[in-house]
Copies of this chain bind each other. A is one copy, B any other.
Amino acid sequence: MYRAGMAQAAQALIGDSEFDRDTAVTLREPGVYDAELSAGWTIIHAVNGGYLLALLGRALGDALPHPDPFTVSAHYLTPSAPGPAVIRTDVVRTGRTLSTGQASLFQYEEDGTEVERIRVLASYGDLDALPDDVRTTALPPAIPPREHCLGPSDGPAPQIPGSSAITDRLDIKLDPATVGWAVGAPSGKGEMRGWFGLADGRDADPLSLLLTVDALPPTSFELGLKGWTPTVELTTHIRCRPAPGPLRVSITTRNLAGGFLEEDAEVWDSADRLVAQSRQLARAPRG
């Protein structure tokens, strides 16, 4: 299966892609899943929070009677590292249209002690069973055409400082209006916008949207702050199964105060549907 314009590159399919292999979970016993955190999704030295969320989301999708994440609230406890992990799930409630579950991802100390990395509460449903009504008043973000946006290979711009394996697995092209930070001229606005895809061309699904909401550079870069913006809590609503094709992502910060900031993400699909909304509370960088 080839896509026009992708010059002979075979497009990876949902279920058979880097993302799917690296978020695979293996049932160890009822409700408990083994996983391997891939070094391929690290940003600087930390494992990306959206990638971890997708892993937890996959485990919960197996443990719960409903297939799709509708709302996932994650509290980040300790930094994850590439390597083995275990996800322990708990079915909280099963309803007709929604079920609710809890999941924790643990890694191991040298002596084998489990250390909790993230805990999530999530309500799952069936996106394909929802009615067709759309009364969205939000408008898609005004992002220039993809060919006018900038990726890591486009000259001086956006290289995230430090080694970031994840950039090889993502196909992100940022709106030139939000890449001032990469050339030392941040806009001062808490905005980051761009086109998002997976590098192997795999289309989006509800699980990959959990990655997408936390995949762009932080808005704090455009606010002139350098350094790390660790997530305290991230809640994501998946509202619609995304259509094939590239996604547009817009991230906004309106309240940087007291050493914390919020980041609101919106993800729009190629059919102009608002497919995901998220908000996170993060610690502001010191710098």
* Residues of chain A at the chain B interface (Cβ within 8 Å): 70-71, 73, 75, 77-78, 92-93, 98, 100, 102, 116, 119-123, 127, 130-138, 189-190, 223, 232-233, 235, 237, 239-240, 253-260, 262, 273-274, 277, 279, 281
A75/B121 in contact, CB under 8 A: yes
Instruction: Please give the distance in Å from A248's CB to the nearest CB on chain B.
Output: 15
B119/A232 in contact, CB under 8 A: no
18 further interface pairs, Cβ-Cβ under 8 Å (given A71-B281, A102-B119, A254-B274):
A70-B260, A71-B75, A71-B233, A73-B73, A73-B75, A77-B93, A123-B233, A127-B258, A130-B258, A130-B260, A133-B258, A133-B259, A136-B256, A137-B255, A233-B237, A240-B257, A240-B258, A255-B277
How many Å lie between the Cα of A138 and that of B258 in the bound state?
Answer: 15
How many Å lie between the Cα of A123 and that of B282 in the bound state?
Answer: 12
How many Å lie between the Cα of A207 and that of B258 in the bound state?
Answer: 19
Point out the residue from B189, B239, B255 that lies within 8 Å of A138, measured CB to CB: B255
Contact A116:B93 (CB < 8 A) given known A70-B260, A131-B259, A281-B71: yes
Query: Per DSSP, are chain A's interface residues mostly helix, strand or loop, or mixed?
Result: strand
How many Å lie between the Cα of A137 and that of B123 in the bound state?
Answer: 32
**Interface-centre pick from A130, A138, A274, A281 (highest chain B CB count, 10 A):** A281
Contacts of A75 in B (CB 8 A): 71, 73, 92, 100, 121-123
Q: Which residue of B lies closest to A93 (CB)?
A: B77
Instruction: Please give the distance in Å from A105's CB to the nearest CB on chain B.
Output: 13
Q: Which residue of B lies closest to A254 (CB)?
A: B138
Point out the residue from B98, B133, B237, B257 that lies within 8 Å of A262, measured CB to CB: B237
Instruction: Please give the distance in Å from A84's CB to the nearest CB on chain B.
Output: 21
How many Å lie between the Cα of A223 and that of B208 in the bound state?
Answer: 32
